[in-house]
Chains A and B, each alone.
Chain A
Amino acid sequence: MNELNPTAGPIPPAIPTPPRLTKPLALGEDPADREPISGPLVAVEAILRAPRRIMYQLRQPGSGRLITAMLLVSILCSLIYGLVVGTFSQGTQLWAAPAKIAGGLLVTALICLPSLYIFTCLSGSEAKLSEIFGLVTGLLMLMTILLIGFAPVAWLFSQSTESVVWMGVLHLIFWFISTMFGLKFLDSGFSHFKAKTSAGLYIWVMVFILVAVQMTTALRPIVGKADDFFPKQKQFFLSHWNESLNAPGKPAGQ
């Protein structure tokens, strides 16, 4: 390279840029969609970089292995994030928080699955229950791997603060951001079902968020400490949040 005269010599080639797509292709039209997903790690890579691969594979015969792999990744990731949540209170919460978070997520998905299937059918889609279940496991996997990304941040704050309210709010923010990305994946998958309307999906999204938030109250305490594994008193999440905000020194769930 001539440093005194940078224009001398051959001109370097331009770096190729990917072509701009004008309209989205149907699943499988792009050869990249058809690449097989051989294991859980490939599934994680695929859902982050090429979610269409997951959507395509869910429509193929033998998608059960992929669904199982995604479910296992979701459980593992939620257990790891739960452990980080448990480091705030230490003691029994080190196993209680992972168990509650992993269990709560699975139960939330199971509770909401029938309504999603019904809404999907009502919207005119021909999607099978296994495809819907696959998309929901994809939602859970994406949510939980993003929570793992947030885990170092959550751990640092849990070691610095003593406020249950603050940690609860922080975990809820992280959960909400992760859920938004997960729901974006679900919405993207839903768009390939040839549904006439997405209204049902949007209603379901609200139902899912409400159930998940109520689950955090039903399984309290997840962040703070308590003598019992489950709360004795039943409560709506808004009243629980209100109670926690007005008593910042009191551990949640007591």
Chain B
Amino acid sequence: MNTQATTADFLPRLSARSADMFLRADPRSLYEWVVQQRTRLIWFCVGLIIVGSGTYGAAVGVWREPLQALYTGIKLPLVILLTTFGNGLLNGMLAPLLGLQVSFRQSFVLVLISFALASFVLAGFSSVALFLVWNTPPLNAMTRLSSPEYGFLQLMLAGIIATAGIIGNVRLLPLLGRWTTSRAIARRVLFVWLATNLFLGSQIAWVLRPFIWDPAGETRFIGREYLRGSFYETVFEATRRLMIKQEHDS
């Protein structure tokens, strides 16, 4: 009897049927998929991101109208994929410099896996998001950016995405351990990838606004005026204005 079985013998061919196995994120299975079925894994993750985050985006966008649901359903996966591709080169360079011996393609796949896991979680939250949107007072002429319902939806969107992102990254940590004996290196690389993806992702999301609703006009894929300015400049300006106002008040 042949007992010399390899780990790959225990793995099914990656397909929609093995989605539950992917979600369990067993480091050994994921490692084998990264090494032996990389191209298939890339397409699997891209598909999962499009379907998972797209479903969630559509659930949020439907608060305004079906067209906004379609746009948000396209834009949310676009943010994730553009962030992954935009930072692919940088993440691939930083990993070996920080001590993780992964190739460019492997680092790209690893980041994609974490986003795919997050998108899977988002897909799971889509029904919750839809329920919350259904319970939110509908959008009308009286709705303003300062309206509580708008603030509630914004917070919900951000909160659920943050939760999904954290889960995706936490699940990636044991997998990174497959390429290094040092847990500190794995943590460092994960932190740096998280920082770079957050930095670029915030700006891409800023450019691709609106996701929920554009009070300035008709439903559009991207508001032309939103192509100006950056997320960080706006945050900096808002903080500065706040500080000046506080100085005046005191």
Interfacial residues, chain A to chain B (CB-CB below 8 A) = 1, 9-10, 12-13, 15, 17-18, 20, 48-49, 145-146, 148-150, 152-153, 156-157, 159-163, 166, 181, 184
Contact = CB atoms under 8 A, between A and B. Distances in A.
Given A1-B12, A17-B181, A12 B28 contact: yes
A157 B203 contact: yes
Interface string B151-166: 0000000000000000
Given A161-B233, A162-B228, A150 B7 contact: no
B230 to A, nearest CB: 5
A20 B204 CA distance: 40
B199 interface: yes
B229 A150 contact: no
A15 B33 CA distance: 13
A12 B7 contact: yes
A145 B93 contact: yes
Q: Which of A1, A48, A162 has the most CB of B within 10 A?
A: A48
Contacts of B90: 146, 149-150, 152-153
B130 to A, nearest CB: 32
B229 A12 contact: no
Interface stretch (B42-50, B51-59, B94-102, B142-150): B94-102
Interface string B81-115: 00000110110111011000100000000000000
A13 B203 contact: no
A13 B7 CA distance: 6
Given A48-B96, A148-B89, A15 B12 contact: no
11 contacts: A10-B3, A12-B9, A13-B7, A15-B7, A15-B31, A153-B196, A160-B206, A160-B207, A160-B228, A161-B228, A161-B229
Top 5 nearest A-B pairs (CB, nearest first) are A149-B90, A12-B7, A10-B5, A152-B86, A49-B96
A15 B178 contact: yes
Given A12-B28, A149-B90, A153-B200, 8 more contacts: A12-B10, A15-B178, A17-B178, A49-B101, A149-B93, A157-B203, A160-B228, A181-B97
Which of B31, B178, B203 has the most C-beta atoms of chain A within 10 angstroms of its own C-beta?
B203
Contacts of B97: 48, 146, 181, 184
B94 A149 contact: yes
B227 interface: yes
A48 B93 contact: yes
Max chain B C-beta neighbours (<10 A), residue from A17, A149, A166, A184: A149
B interface: dominant SS: helix
B6 interface: yes
Contacts of A153: 86-87, 90, 196, 199-200, 203
A9 B4 CA distance: 11
A156 B204 contact: yes
B166 to A, nearest CB: 23
Contacts of A13: 5-7
B203 A156 contact: yes
B41 to A, nearest CB: 17
Nearest to B102: A49
Contacts of B227: 159-160
Contacts of A156: 86, 200, 203-204, 207
Nearest to A177: B94
Contacts of A152: 86-87, 89-90, 200
A1 B6 CA distance: 12
Contact of A160 (B94, B181, B229): B229
A242 to B, nearest CB: 17
A48 B31 CA distance: 22
Interface string B60-92: 000000000000000000000000001101101
A15 B178 CA distance: 8
Interface in B98-136: 101
B199 A166 contact: no
Interface string B178-221: 10010000000000000010011001101100000000000000
Contacts of A12: 5-7, 9-10, 28
Q: Which of A15, A17, A156, A160 has the most CB of B within 10 A?
A: A160
Nearest to A6: B10
Contacts of A149: 89-90, 92-94
A20 B180 CA distance: 10
Nearest to A162: B228
B4 to A, nearest CB: 8
A249 B200 CA distance: 25
Contact of B233 (A17, A150, A166): A166
